[in-house]
């Protein structure tokens, strides 16, 4: 799809106002935005523009990505800079949609076509009721752009109140026991069933290490598939660097072959050896 001039947004305004008559809003934060290649899941290899939000309702210490805050060593997910509130002073608060929409429009003009847009985090759906966030997503969908949310699947969405999300793709990156989070925090059947029922496209994506392959991974995945039996399953190796991926990739590769799942590598980490800005 070639770039075309930004379409006016005014015809959406009355609809958006209706959605937010009685709602209170979170503050919407971005940690980074950049153009790259989607490295994971169903659309791996597709040129994509990324919006990474700040904040998450999970911390996933079991993934073991090591980082330092004020001289203290901590462990968490590989995008700890977008999860741990200790980094919040580095996040950008987005207080109105027009400037971000204009920046996106300028970026797409520079790119020369309309790429996929991936909204990731942290947990981006923490902001799904925010007026500014919803306006930006609505504009993207109105441009005919494929919008993918990378989400842990724990946030319940009212698809009647926020219908634009029906047009989006949901990469359900559900967490297993190896994340270090309790089951009641990381699995929300009601939220998952609503996403599977109401959205344009959704698939399951699990981050697995060698140890979980040899222990409970298949039982946990099959339990989740009882909730979402129709969704494709992608499995990828734990790792925030090439070195850590290499410790897990062959086990995950064989695991996918054994259980007829789709293997997802992490192309951006293979190429750049980092999770930030790529």
User: Which of residues 132 and 278 earns the better pLDDT score?
Assistant: 132
Structural domain includes residue 237: yes
Per-residue pLDDT at 278: 54
Structural domain includes residue 28: no
Q: What share of the chain in percent tops pLDDT 90?
A: 70
Structural domain includes residue 188: yes
Residue 15, pLDDT above cutoff 80:
no
Using 50, 70 and 90 to split pLDDT, how confident is the model at 224?
very high
Residue 177: how many CB atoms within 10 A of its CB? 16
Sheet strands (E) in 72-174 = 72-76, 92-94, 116-120, 147-151, 169-172
Structural domain includes residue 10: no
- How buried is 112 (Cβ within 10 angstroms: 0-12 exposed, 13-18 middle, 19+ buried)? exposed
Among residues 213, 212, 271, the alpha carbon closest in space to that of 40 is found at 271
Residue 61, domain CATH: 3.20.20.70
**Which residue range forms the structural domain that includes residue 247?**
35-272
- Give CA separation, 7 vs 96, 97, 109, in Å: 18, 14, 13
| 182 contacts 145 by C-beta, under 8 angstroms | no
- State the alpha helices, DSSP H only, in 112-238: 131-142, 183-186, 189-198, 210-213, 217-227
Structural domain includes residue 87: yes
**Which range, 68-82, 213-227, 232-246, has the best average confidence (pLDDT)?**
213-227
Q: Report the domain count for the chain.
A: 1
Structural domain includes residue 99: yes
Among residues 18, 53, 50, the alpha carbon closest in space to that of 37 is found at 50
Structural domain includes residue 278: no
| 127 contacts 135 by C-beta, under 8 angstroms | no
Start-to-end C-alpha separation, the chain: 22
Structural domain includes residue 2: no
């Amino acid at each position: 799809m070639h770039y075309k001039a930004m379409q006016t947004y005014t015809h959406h305004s009355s609809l958006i106002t209706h959605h937010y008559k009685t709602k209170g809003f979170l503050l919407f934060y971005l940690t980074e935005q950049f153009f790259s290649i989607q490295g994971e899941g169903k659309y791996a290899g597709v040129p994509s523009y990324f919006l990474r939000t700040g904040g998450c309702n999970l911390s996933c210490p079991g993934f073991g990505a090591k980082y330092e805050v004020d001289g203290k060593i901590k462990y968490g997910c590989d995008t700890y800079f977008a999860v741990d509130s200790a980094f919040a002073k580095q996040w950008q608060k987005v207080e109105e949609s027009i400037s971000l929409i204009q920046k996106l429009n300028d970026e797409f003009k520079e790119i020369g076509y309309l790429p996929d847009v991936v909204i990731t985090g942290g947990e981006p759906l923490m902001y799904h009721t925010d007026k500014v966030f919803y306006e930006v997503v609505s504009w993207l969908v109105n441009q005919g752009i494929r919008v993918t949310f990378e989400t842990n699947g724990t946030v319940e969405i009212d698809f009647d109140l926020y219908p634009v999300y029906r047009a989006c793709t949901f990469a359900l990156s559900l967490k297993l026991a190896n994340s270090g989070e309790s089951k009641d925090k990381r699995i929300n059947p009601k939220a998952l069933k609503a996403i599977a029922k109401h959205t344009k496209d959704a698939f399951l994506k699990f981050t697995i290490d060698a140890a979980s392959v040899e222990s409970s991974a298949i039982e946990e995945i099959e339990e989740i598939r009882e909730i979402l039996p129709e969704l494709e399953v992608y499995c990828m190796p734990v790792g925030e660097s090439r070195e850590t991926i290499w410790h897990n990739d062959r086990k995950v590769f064989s695991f996918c072959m054994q259980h007829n799942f789709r293997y997802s590598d992490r192309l951006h980490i293979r190429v750049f050896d980092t999770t930030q800005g790529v």
